[in-house]
Structure 1
Amino acid sequence: MGQVTLNQVMRAAVTRLQRVAQAPDNQRILRELGFAYADVTEVPIPALRWDQIILDRSNQRWRELLSFARLLLGDRHQQTSAGAVDGHALLFEMNALFEQYVARLVTRALAGSGYRVAAQGGHRDCLFEAGAGRFRTKPDLIIRQGDRTVLVIDTKWKRMAPRIDDPKQGVSQADVYQLMAYSQLYRCPEVMLLYPHHGDLPPEPICTRYAIASDGAEETLQVATLDVTGPAHAHIEALKHLLARTLPAAVAA
């Protein structure tokens, strides 16, 4: 009876995940699991008999899966402050996630404007030795108009400081040097560091322009923020407004 109930729990977990999964690979795997549990009687979640499941040496390998199924089917949530029950966590590399999200939004914001957006492109080398390149670069976002690079954006999932606390607002010297190198390597007069906006900053998004190397230089570095709270369409509009300062043709996009 215990193994039968365990299979019923696993089928219920697979069924619930099939309803929410969006990634094609996940959908495919869940379909395969659905076929594997096709002969198991489907039981409504409230009627599952968790008390009949007994884990012993023969089925100990199911312990973590059963714990995850209980969390999933019981509509429970975890907190980090207290509790003695083992659970699961999903960890995301926020710098990569922010970069990919901004790349998609910028592509949509510039649709129909004549600009092309390349994510993780470029691949130009900083140094050369006997014909071999060294220290290859990979800017987060390159915006081109025809064959000309008009803007390089590097996203940084870092918390900017209010100007009252730090005149540099937490922008690191290494990040500035990196963007200056991009400006030279890609012959691009405009480069941008883009950070997430947060509540400790002034209400309006930041967009500060600095001349590179000398006062009044044509080459500039912008330090800007994007508020990623709220709906995605608001983020796209914010990016259109931000990009219009550098790419005038994008205003009509």
Structure 2
Amino acid sequence: MKIVVVREYARLTTDPVEATLDQATVTPSAFEWLCNLAAGFSKGGASLLHLENRRWLRLDSYVGVVETPCGTLLEILPKHTPVSNEDIAAKSRALLIKMLAEALDLPVRTTEKTDITTFRHPLLEWVMKQFVLSLDHLIKRGLRFDYQRVEEEQHFLRGQLDVVKQMRQPPGRAHIFNIRHDLFLLERPENRLLKTALMRVCRTTNQPQTWRLAHELAGLLADMPDSTDTQRDFRVWSNERLMAHYQPVRPWCELVLGQHMPLTVRGATHGISLLFPMEKLFERYVETRLRKQLPSPYSLKAQARSASLCRHNGADMFQLRPDFLVREGCKNIFAMDAKWKLISGAYGENKYGLSQADFYQLFAYGHKYLDGTGKMLLIFPLTAEFPEALPAFDFSPALKLWVVPFDLETDRMTWPNELKMAWHTP
């Protein structure tokens, strides 16, 4: 298997070029397959990559892994620094794993303390490793059995005789008994899903330790049937008290089976592929960190949708959905948006790299959610070029906007001096 490691907005070509995080060479079959995949994404309203003069593909802002039918594994990492080298690739992979674990609330089980920081295999291998470790822990604690009602014909009595069916037996079959009885079996929706995910890992993983453990567990579940309808089985997954020890493995099972991803690509000729929109992942990660750091008496409301831009014929039109609203009681104090984009702390000709459309968006939030009076924040990832908050942008004397950095290493947001007292940050 050929592994190609790049990052967001990298360019791919079939011509021989120097391999970096921002450009790489792929096989012609992989190039063609990616073009067809991008066409399918475009029909669904998503943009996976762009075709440049039929010789180059430029990736968009999706991260994760994609495996092509020819065996090329494309790993796409976050672009959180302008520098491109091997050390940045390791840090980007560790950052992506940390953000996924936090944003998707994944219960990470590791065999050693430095497992995440030293894990140098593609992201997909990390997901499969965590799944088999969680499943191994679950099996050691004990799988949940359930009674299954069986109705059959036998030459002996077992359980309960079905009198109605027995009376309808023809004379030549009077010696055959119609019986009903219960069997105490492992066949539950949860166990079927785990078996299906485990068999997919057995077929996909290339890491010796994961492969060995997965096949050991597959032997223990050999008599368990696979799930024929994963969506239905996930819907009926039990959350009762006796099934509490199943909860840590469920997120990993959903990842492997493609039920927990914004976008998944699966097929018979290649393994599992997982793609994450980096904008949504960054937004979700910032939300989880801010929610934990929020001091009393404030509360955080994500994706508020109570206001619209205008009304037409008595109905709301163009719903406004800020990423976060900070409230004190019932009053909105801050409106915030998180943007995954590298900007500069120097003004220059490109105005810090900020988007005018984002300012129009925040302007609308300020008038509809803050009644034209209040404070707003645009949150971008912290970089060496953007180390501190920019001076305030004044929409009016009563409505101000600050552009602030969020440090993905310390998980802290750098607040402007004007807001530190209002936020009561330590």
TM-score where L is the length of structure 1: 0.62
* Structure ranking higher on relative contact order (CA contacts 8 Å, 6+ apart): 1
Task: Give 1:227's aligned amino acid.
Answer: D
Q: 1:14 to 1:156 in 2, by over 3 A?
A: closer
Task: Give 2:132's aligned amino acid.
Answer: Q
Per-residue deviation, 1:116: 1.1
| Unpaired stretches in structure 2, ≥5 consecutive residues | 1-126, 136-187, 213-269
> How many angstroms apart in 2 are the aligned matches of 1:136 and 1:37?
39
Q: 1:71 to 1:143 in 2, by over 3 A?
A: same
**Where does residue 91 of structure 1 map in the other structure?**
275
Contact 1:15 1:34 in 2 (8 A): no
> How many angstroms apart in 1 are the aligned matches of 2:129 and 2:378?
43
Larger Rg: 2
**Where does residue 192 of structure 2 map in the other structure?**
32
Q: 1:122 to 1:227 in 2, by over 3 A?
A: same
> How many angstroms apart in 2 are the aligned matches of 1:249 and 1:206?
16
- Report Cα offsets for 1:10-37 as digits up to 9, x if no partner: xxx988623157xxxxxx9884355679
**Where does residue 248 of structure 1 map in the other structure?**
421
Q: 1:244 to 1:165 in 2, by over 3 A?
A: closer
More strand per residue: 2
Give the alignment's Cα RMSD to 1 decimal. Answer: 3.6
Contact 1:210 1:222 in 2 (8 A): yes
Per-residue deviation, 1:140: 0.3
Q: Give 1:191's match in structure 2, choosing from 376, 382, 391.
A: 376
Q: 1:29 to 1:212 in 2, by over 3 A?
A: farther
Count of residue pairs the alignment pairs up: 189
- What secondary structure does 1:70 align onto? coil
TM-score where L is the length of structure 2: 0.38
**Where does residue 147 of structure 1 map in the other structure?**
330
> How many angstroms apart in 1 are the aligned matches of 2:274 and 2:366?
37
Q: 1:212 to 1:71 in 2, by over 3 A?
A: same
Q: 1:95 to 1:159 in 2, by over 3 A?
A: same
Q: Aligned ranges for residues 101-250 of structure 1 at < 5 Å?
A: 101-111=285-295, 113-163=296-346, 165-166=348-349, 168-186=351-369, 187=371, 188-199=373-384, 201-202=385-386, 204-213=387-396, 217-228=397-408, 230=409, 234-235=410-411, 238-239=412-413, 242=415, 245-246=418-419, 248-250=421-423
> How many angstroms apart in 1 are the aligned matches of 2:203 and 2:345?
43
Q: Could you tell me the percent identity over the aligned residues? A: 24
Per-residue deviation, 1:117: 0.5
Task: Give 2:299's aligned amino acid.
Answer: R
Task: Give 1:224's aligned amino acid.
Answer: V
| Unpaired stretches in structure 1, ≥5 consecutive residues | 1-12, 22-27, 39-61, 76-85
**Where does residue 9 of structure 1 map in the other structure?**
none
